[in-house]
Structure 1
Amino acid sequence: MANNLDSNVTTADALTLLLHNQHALAAAIEEVTKWLSENGGETVAENAVGAIETIDRNAEAISDAIMRLRLL
Structure 2
Amino acid sequence: MADIKFEIKESIGVLSESPKGWKKEINLISWNKNTPKYDLRDWAPEHEKMGKGITLSKEELKELRDILNKMDI
Normalized against structure 1, the TM-score is what?
0.31
Structure with the greater relative contact order (CA < 8 A, sep ≥ 6): 1 or 2? 1
Which has more strand, going by share of residues?
Answer: 2
Normalized against structure 2, the TM-score is what?
0.31
Which has more helix, going by share of residues?
Answer: 1
- CA radius of gyration, larger in: 1
